[in-house]
């Protein structure tokens, strides 16, 4: 078949499957024997050493081995803050001069500077909760905080496509874990009914606590959570709601406040709001926001707060400054423009891909756009052919997705211009024809 020949893929099938175990290695060596020559690493975006070109808003990647610039369609740089910014960057540099790169201390051992205190106030205010706690890493926020919130005797009901950090946090908690069908409120209700008798008061249940864990925008699906329905089911069955907003905070909602704002959900109805600063804010770290009592409790008990070095001060400053820009507190309308731009870009790119006949997952307004490839062996063909034409896309497969649901995942940024997107669409369309992944008839172009 053409795509197979086009990319000389044979040797890469084991890698595409994402199965790096002993047997796959043996299979790989056998294939290598058959070809009578070593098979080198494929030049995919995921294997290459790249430099981010941050003075152009992280829009392009520079491949260091073979110097060429590629349009970056893989970064979570939703608002274009992963770059030099006229308001944020001077302040980050100032904070570096004042505090340097690290406190080299945990929050409770002298690692709380004035910036850390300010950051937690700014974040709580931004997400609409009374208090927040910030950690140095988003992944750890889920994996270390879930085990503090719930343990043996508790029940976690988790969306089937929740992120690995949630899965690990849930497993580490010792609570009983049940999974409901991805973003399907009726199935969540079914699972809840199976685990609690009708009308049973919270104190008489077999569970010490029930937490339902969902994401705002699903990172591999680009889908927006059916939060209003989920919140009302949780109210009915008196379960707590834990919402991971890694991909939605700062990216959606009229003022960037995430899915609650987008879908009109009262933040008071979401018990634990989690998110990361590695996407829309161009920084690093994660947060939990909730009631004052919850955050106070976490500050005394959470290992990621007690035993881990506090977030780097310049990273904290970047978050504070970018939130100020988003809210217009820098005295400009750049924040509002960025929010309008990410929405326009996302909806334009998604609809153009659909018109071309691709199967694109996710919802309007979501900057995450998975293009279905299905066959895991098409992964390197797609990403390599795009890369040859200077468009860098991230491809994902098992174990990040089910084995036969491989996809290319496009992340659109407010920093992409219309010309960038037109160029990317042309490349994706050509490669899509070559690899055979246009599953629907293309819409005729309007004259």
Nearer to ligand PMP, 188 or 213 (CB): 213
The CB-of-139 to ligand PMP minimum distance in angstroms stands at: 4
DSSP H or E segment with residue 68: strand 68-72
> What are the backbone angles phi and psi of residue 76, rounded to the nearest 5°?
-85, 25
Burial class (CB in 10 A: 0-12, 13-18, 19+), 8: middle
Distance CA 261, CA 248 (A): 10
Q: How many CB atoms lie within 10 A of CB 289?
A: 28
The CB-of-4 to ligand PMP minimum distance in angstroms stands at: 32
Q: How many CB atoms lie within 10 A of CB 368?
A: 27
Nearer to ligand PMP, 263 or 437 (CB): 263
Nearer to ligand PMP, 214 or 437 (CB): 214
The CB-of-406 to ligand PMP minimum distance in angstroms stands at: 18
Nearer to ligand PMP, 145 or 326 (CB): 145
∠ Cα 132 136 140 (to 5°):
90
The CB-of-336 to ligand PMP minimum distance in angstroms stands at: 25
The CB-of-59 to ligand PMP minimum distance in angstroms stands at: 20
Nearer to ligand PMP, 9 or 260 (CB): 260
Distance CA 70, CA 122 (A): 36
The CB-of-219 to ligand PMP minimum distance in angstroms stands at: 4
Check: CB of residue 371 under 8 Å from CB of residue 330: no
∠ Cα 169 170 175 (to 5°):
135
Distance CA 127, CA 195 (A): 32
Nearer to ligand PMP, 159 or 189 (CB): 159
The CB-of-303 to ligand PMP minimum distance in angstroms stands at: 16
The CB-of-247 to ligand PMP minimum distance in angstroms stands at: 6
Nearer to ligand PMP, 11 or 275 (CB): 275
Q: Three-state DSSP class for 200?
A: coil
Nearer to ligand PMP, 7 or 278 (CB): 278
Distance CA 177, CA 156 (A): 5
Nearer to ligand PMP, 217 or 437 (CB): 217
The CB-of-368 to ligand PMP minimum distance in angstroms stands at: 9
Describe the strand order of the beta sheet including 368-374 as a list of residue ranges: 368-374, 406-411, 394-396
Return the sign of the alpha-carbon dihedral for residues 131, 136, 142, 145: negative
> What are the backbone angles phi and psi of residue 51, rounded to the nearest 5°?
-110, 135
Nearer to ligand PMP, 139 or 240 (CB): 139
Q: Three-state DSSP class for 386?
A: helix
The CB-of-298 to ligand PMP minimum distance in angstroms stands at: 17
* Residue with nearest beta carbon to ligand PMP: 138
Check: CB of residue 14 under 8 Å from CB of residue 27: yes
Binding region for ligand PMP (CB under 6 A): 137-139, 142, 163, 165, 215, 219, 244, 246-247, 276, 278, 286
Provide Rg for the chain, Cα atoms. Answer: 23
Q: Distance from CA of residue 331 to its chain's centroid? A: 29
DSSP H or E segment with residue 60: strand 60-63
DSSP H or E segment with residue 274: strand 272-276
């Amino acid at each position: 078949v053409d795509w197979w020949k086009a990319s000389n893929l044979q040797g890469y099938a084991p890698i595409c499957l994402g199965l790096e175990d002993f047997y796959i290695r043996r299979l790989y060596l056998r294939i290598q024997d058959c070809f009578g020559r070593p098979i080198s690493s494929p030049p995919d975006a995921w294997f290459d050493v790249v430099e981010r070109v941050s003075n152009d808003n992280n829009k392009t990647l520079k491949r260091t081995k073979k110097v060429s610039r590629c349009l970056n369609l893989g970064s979570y740089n939703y608002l274009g803050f992963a770059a030099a910014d006229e308001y944020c960057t001077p302040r980050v540099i100032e904070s570096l001069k004042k505090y340097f790169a690290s406190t080299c201390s945990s929050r409770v051992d002298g690692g709380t500077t004035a910036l850390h205190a300010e950051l937690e106030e700014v974040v709580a205010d931004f997400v609409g909760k009374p208090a927040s706690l910030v950690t140095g890493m988003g992944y750890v926020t889920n994996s270390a905080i879930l085990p503090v919130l719930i343990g043996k005797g508790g029940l976690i009901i988790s969306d089937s496509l929740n992120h690995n950090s949630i899965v690990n946090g849930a497993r580490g908690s010792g609570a009983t874990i049940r999974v409901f069908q991805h973003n399907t409120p009726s199935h969540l209700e079914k699972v809840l009914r199976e685990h609690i008798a009708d009308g049973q008061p919270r104190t008489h249940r077999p569970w010490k606590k029930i937490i339902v864990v969902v994401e705002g925008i699903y990172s591999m699906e680009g889908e927006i959570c059916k939060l209003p329905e989920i919140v009302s089911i949780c109210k009915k069955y008196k379960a707590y709601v834990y919402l991971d907003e890694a991909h939605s905070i700062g990216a959606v909602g009229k003022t960037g406040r995430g899915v609650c704002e987008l879908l009109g959900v009262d933040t008071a109805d979401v018990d634990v709001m989690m998110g990361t600063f590695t996407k829309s804010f161009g920084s690093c770290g994660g947060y939990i926001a909730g009631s004052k009592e919850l955050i106070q409790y976490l500050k005394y008990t959470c290992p990621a707060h007690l035993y881990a070095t506090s977030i780097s001060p310049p990273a904290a400053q970047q978050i504070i400054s970018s939130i100020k820009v988003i809210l217009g507190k820098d005295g400009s309308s750049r924040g509002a423009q960025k929010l309008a731009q990410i929405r326009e870009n996302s909806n334009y790119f998604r609809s153009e891909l659909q018109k071309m006949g691709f199967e694109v997952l996710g919802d309007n307004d979501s900057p995450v756009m998975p293009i279905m490839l299905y066959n895991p062996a098409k992964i390197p063909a797609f990403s390599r052919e795009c890369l040859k034409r200077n468009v860098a896309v991230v491809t994902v497969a098992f174990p990040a997705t089910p084995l036969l649901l491989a996809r290319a995942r496009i992340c659109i940024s407010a920093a992409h211009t219309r010309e960038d997107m037109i160029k990317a669409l042309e490349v994706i369309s050509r490669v899509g024809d070559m690899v055979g992944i246009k599953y629907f008839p293309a819409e005729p172009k309007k004259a």
